[in-house]
Amino acid sequence: KAGVTQTPRYLIKTRGQQVTLSCSPISGHRSVSWYQQTPGQGLQFLFEYFSETQRNKGNFPGRFSGRQFSNSRSEMNVSTLELGDSALYLCASSFEDSIGEQYFGPGTRLTVT
Amino acid sequence: DQQVKQNSPSLSVQEGRISILNCDYTNSMFDYFLWYKKYPAEGPTFLISISSIKDKNEDGRFTVFLNKSAKHLSLHIVPSQPGDSAVYFCAVQTGANNLFFGTGTRLTVIP
């Protein structure tokens, strides 16, 4: 069974631009969560989607948004990029009501210059 | 406001010895705790978990201990192997598929 895939793996953008990251969950998984990893803050929860609906949201500004498609694939968008948005963005998928055990993709490394 | 804290950013242990990774949390209402391991250039992988109704859970070389009164979680790896060298994150689950992670501890197992 294929794992969680994320594209692109690396991205360089300029301040003020916007970016869209993509995540394909493991087949059969309906929940997709997004996390931001930075050296100082560790892994921080962005939001979680299930059946095309945002079910949970972390404490991030409205510049961070996402969506989920009917095939469970998810995209995350960051508008008006800031230098502090440079991070590793991780996507994780799981079954509907799984407790804790999420399966992570390799991440997208975003650098904002 | 860190709800989960890993106060040791790094730990070095000799191969064959015990590795003990620690984690503190702030909210006594948390009821499910997890450890993840992360290698460079890979996403975190689930290692072991424990619910608040238990104080110990064991899986092979890995044991997680939960001290609810102290709001403290620890992961023991015995015996430690060089392949265990990675960053270890503790996490708490606060809602459906919503995890709060600590900042991680980099474990180095010296051959």
Write the pLDDT tens digit of every residue in A24-44: 999 999 999 999 998 777 789
* Residue-level pLDDT at A100: 66
Q: Nearest Cβ partner of A90 from B43, B95, B98? A: B43
CA distance A27 to A22: 15
Which pLDDT tens digit goes with each residue over A74-89? 999 999 999 999 999 9
Sort out which chain A residues have CB atoms less than 8 A from B44's CB and list them. Answer: 43, 90, 104
Which of B55, B46, B56, B61 is CA-nearest to residue B13? B61
Binned at pLDDT 50, 70 and 90, residue B99 comes out as confident
Mean pLDDT for all residues in chain B: 92
Contact A43 B95 (CB under 8 A): no
Cβ–Cβ under 8 Å, residues A18 and A79? yes
Report the 10 Å Cβ neighbour count for B78.
13
Percent of the residues in chain A that have a pLDDT greater than 90, as a whole number: 75
Binned at pLDDT 50, 70 and 90, residue A9 comes out as very high
Strands of the sheet containing A19-24, edge to edge, are A5-7, A19-24, A74-78, A64-68
Mean pLDDT for all residues in chain A: 92
Which pLDDT tens digit goes with each residue over A45-63? 899 999 899 988 888 999 9
User: Which residue does chain B place closest to A9, by CA atoms?
Assistant: B41
* Residue-level pLDDT at B96: 60
Whether pLDDT at A2 is above 80? no
Sort out which chain B residues have CB atoms less than 8 A from A92's CB and list them. Answer: 43, 97
* Residue-level pLDDT at B29: 81
Whether pLDDT at B79 is above 90? yes
Whether pLDDT at A112 is above 80? yes
Percent of the residues in chain A that have a pLDDT greater than 70, as a whole number: 96
* Residue-level pLDDT at A64: 98
* Residue-level pLDDT at B11: 97
Instruction: Kindly state the tokens that stand for B18.
Output: 């015990």
Q: Phi/psi of residue B54, each to 5°? A: -115, 165
Which residues are CB-contacts of A70 (< 8 A; sequence separation ≥ 6)? A52
CA distance A89 to A24: 14
